[in-house]
Structure 1
């Protein structure tokens, strides 16, 4: 375990499953076709603006969070974002615990999205 992983609560499995992409690479990845794109902000935040085709699954509503993600395919990549990148990273860790193995997080969140 690296010192970074130790300090920030990550494990080898988590860092292998979660990758943080900058806006350009994230945009390129989600534009390749049908992807599992999820906005983990609140419905109010989502309603104020979101990335096209993103599904809203609120991180703070634990039961609906788990129910929403249980409908997604664990073997396919999941692309997450929140407002700043903090919530989506926590959501990504939760998804690893739920059995997802390929998770992409938008660096800087929706706030940094300019596309």
Structure 2
């Protein structure tokens, strides 16, 4: 019985820790204030990973639209970016941009900023 509790505790710990922030050395979660300060009006690589329909309904500053749902073209598009310069990503609420950040990291990008609140947060706080 004690072994069962040890295994249960280990599984529970692994589950909880996997839900924690997935921030890495190359991926940093950012908020609305950071976007306003470091991105708006600046010459940065800002990528909206939503669909073109979402993008056309409103987007942040001079963001380019690289639709994450079209995996092949998304990979081609991100490879037009400078891997050594910061890349800021956002989606609607943060899920897709977090996934996109992992793809960029895997592709060798070194400074990735994920706006975890996404466009919904941006629109609410303007």
TM-score norm. by structure 1 comes to 0.87
Displacement of 1:32 after TM fit? 6.0
Q: 1:87 to 1:28 in 2, by over 3 A?
A: same
Higher relative contact order (CA 8 A, sep 6+): 1
Q: How many residues align?
A: 112
State how far apart, in whole Å, the 2-side matches of 1:20 and 1:81 are.
Answer: 10
Displacement of 1:58 after TM fit? 0.5
Partner of 2:50: 41
Structure 1 gaps of 5+ residues are none
State how far apart, in whole Å, the 1-side matches of 2:66 and 2:16 are.
Answer: 27
Displacement of 1:77 after TM fit? 0.2
Partner of 2:104: 95
Q: Which is higher, the Rg of structure 1 or of structure 2?
A: 2
Structure 2 gaps of 5+ residues are 1-13
Runs of 4+ off more than 6 Å: none
TM-score norm. by structure 2 comes to 0.80
Correspondent of 1:73 among 65, 82, 86: 82
